[in-house]
Chain A
Amino acid sequence: MLPVSEDPTISRKLKKASQLLLYQHHRLPGAKGWELRKILGKDYMKIVKLLERRLDDLGLEVKVVYEDGLDHPSPTEDDLEQARFYVLSKSPIQTGEASLSGWRIDTLAVLAATLAFITSKQGRATRREVEDLLREKFPDWKVDQDLNRFIRRGYLDEDEEGNLFIGWRTRAEIDRKTLLGIIAGSSADAW
């Protein structure tokens, strides 16, 4: 029997899976579970696991974000088909690499405060509440500019009634459990 890496069918499916996950096909990056199933076949999760092993060497991983935004330790087929699969950096950005994000440190601070606050409010807060919190530390123009920037980039969502929600990019990129743990467990320091 050929090793997995030399099996032509598996190799072809691995290439296709990496194309689906790494090249942007739609407005959002990544691919939905049903798209992967359609292209890779019903055993698509096995291909995803194999791909993940290859990506591991590059410090990358495949993350599955479920439609309801919650963790699913034992997902059903339907959960997986409706979920979106992304490729992420396995390790978080190091503090010294902050400039790689392309944002100023105070913008990162605004995002951290906003996400922690909204997450603690069960994923939803009014824009007014968030602005009131941020305006204690930042000028009005910056708060407004940053919140709009986060909405454009997908870190936040806003409905017509002025409620802010956790956006798709936050669900994919930010480990909110870690973020809340660090913020809640930190001791005070000066601004």
Chain B
Amino acid sequence: MDIPQKLMILKRLLPQWKLLDELLMDAEAIKELSLMVKLQSDWVKRRASGLFIDPFLVEVKVKMLGKESLASALLSSWHPLIASEQLTPRRLSEALDYWNVLLPLSQRMKELEAAEQMEEKTLTISDLIRLKFLSDKVFDEEIKRLHDELTEETKGGPVDYWRFITRDNYEETVMRAYTLSFLISNGLANLIINPVEETTSVEALPGPGLKRGGKSVPISIWYQKWKELRGVTSE
């Protein structure tokens, strides 16, 4: 497609357009032309990379070649990847802990059957207020209190997420995690995840104006996890 010619036409006609709709159509035409340029660029790159070849020729050659020749062609172009799976002492220790607390299958099956009969529901803030777990005022105060505490603790830089939320009491720990999620959603705190080191840390932000990112990160907390965080070994 002759892109410069199309652009010249658009340029020549531009002064004649008076209505917004006409200008919008022009803008759309330019967008389509730019997409065409990108596609042409990709096409040229692919051809230049040497991977352009007539599919019919390849099909004929593949049909004509013996399996030894095809295998040999593959081996001549195969550079195997070198990578190693690893087991660290830490992961081994976590696996052992997991094994130690794992209930017998028969018992777990019973729990699963019981759980299947219960319907899962997501509770909203208004549900919690209606159920008298929270009141509007108390929740607002709790958010402010936790933000102040986080601001104080992260003066020197981000702190470990789990260390920040964990308390002696399981209910309090869950409540802190829940409240912290509101701080993060409202741009009052920032969650920093390091996928390589497998660490999660959190830092206070001064206000919603500095809210960053836009993705959701699910973090699960359950009783056994809390026990591990607290180093509790018995019920």
Contact = CB atoms under 8 A, between A and B. Distances in A.
Interface string A103-129: 001101101110111011110000000
A179 to B, nearest CB: 4
B79 A20 contact: no
A38 B74 contact: no
A88 B46 contact: no
A184 B49 contact: no
A137 interface: yes
Classify chain A: how many residues form its interface, as a range.
35 or more
Contact of A60 (B45, B61, B82): B82
Given A23-B86, A98-B75, A112 B70 contact: yes
Contact of B70 (A35, A91, A109, A190): A109
B62 A117 contact: yes
A95 interface: yes
Contacts of B69: 186, 189
B76 to A, nearest CB: 5
Interface string B63-102: 1111111111111111111111110000000000000000
B201 to A, nearest CB: 14
A91 B75 CA distance: 10
A111 to B, nearest CB: 6
Contact of A120 (B54, B79, B82): B54
B82 A105 contact: no
Interface residues of B, number: 41
A45 to B, nearest CB: 18
B53 A108 contact: no
A105 B58 contact: no
Contacts of B62: 113, 116-117, 133, 183
A172 interface: yes
A108 B78 CA distance: 11
B65 A188 contact: yes
Nearest to B60: A188
A91 B53 CA distance: 25
B9 interface: no
A180 to B, nearest CB: 5
B73 A95 contact: no
A188 B64 contact: yes
11 contacts: A23-B85, A61-B79, A86-B81, A87-B81, A92-B75, A105-B68, A109-B70, A113-B70, A116-B62, A174-B77, A191-B66
Interface of B: 42, 45-46, 49-51, 53-55, 57-59, 61-86, 194-196
Given A26-B195, A89-B79, A191-B67, 14 more contacts: A20-B196, A23-B84, A24-B86, A92-B75, A108-B74, A109-B68, A116-B61, A117-B59, A120-B59, A133-B63, A173-B80, A186-B61, A186-B73, A189-B66
